[in-house]
Amino acid sequence: MEYRIRPVEPKDAPGLSAVRRMPGVFETILGNPGENPGKMETMIAGLGADDYFFVAVTPDGQGGELVIGSVSLKVFANPRTRHAAGIGIMVHKDYQNRGIGRALLQEAVNLADNWLMLIRLELTVFTDNERAIHLYESMGFQREGIRRKAAVRNGVYMDELAMARIRE
């Protein structure tokens, strides 16, 4: 399928918000279906020098673009943790399992490895999110530990897996 990955732009806010709130996505990214649609406008406007945010977009058939995924990379600000960054990723429900998540993660890893010269990339994921864990492990992330009852999902306190990728 035709899509491209590019840095986020202010016009992407509604599309990003729609993906964040859709069933099949919000449950695993700590979003919720009632999330304020304006939150993504605020997020984009607030991106700073240490924040990197890419979107995957595909033609919407009307001359515009449909946001079908995103990846964020935030370099930690403390001078003693500036070799490390946190990553967040999501793909539109209808476009999952087609390689878009891998392409987004590769974009972030390439930036981290070859342009920012970071050593450590980290993230957390629900322990039963097998697709995401498979993707992360296939790209060099390793399991570091369990964060017990770290986040709520549909009325249950769920465990999260902490993962990190170390560039040797």
163 lies in the binding site for ligand COA (CB under 6 A): no
127 lies in the binding site for ligand COA (CB under 6 A): no
Shortest gap between Cβ of 147 and ligand COA (angstroms)?
A: 12
Question: Is residue 45 classed as helix, strand or coil in its secondary structure?
Answer: helix
Q: Which two tokens stand for residue 109?
A: 């890893």
25 lies in the binding site for ligand COA (CB under 6 A): yes
162 lies in the binding site for ligand COA (CB under 6 A): no
What are the angstrom distances between the C-alpha of 80 and each of 15, 49, 83?
A: 36, 17, 8
Shortest gap between Cβ of 163 and ligand COA (angstroms)?
A: 9
Among 36, 110, 138, 142, binds ligand COA (CB under 6 A): 138
96 lies in the binding site for ligand COA (CB under 6 A): yes
Q: Where are any strands of DSSP class E within 17-141?
A: 51-59, 65-75, 84-91, 120-126
86 lies in the binding site for ligand COA (CB under 6 A): no
Buried b (16+ CB within 10 A) or exposed e, 102-123: ebbbebbbebbeeebebbebbb
Q: Is the dihedral of CA 31, 21, 138, 56 positive or negative?
A: negative
Nearer to ligand COA, 40 or 89 (CB): 89
**CA contacts within 13 A on the Cβ side of 146:** 6
Nearer to ligand COA, 67 or 123 (CB): 123
Site residues (vs ligand COA, CB under 6 A): 25, 28-29, 89-91, 96-102, 123, 125, 129-132, 134-135, 138
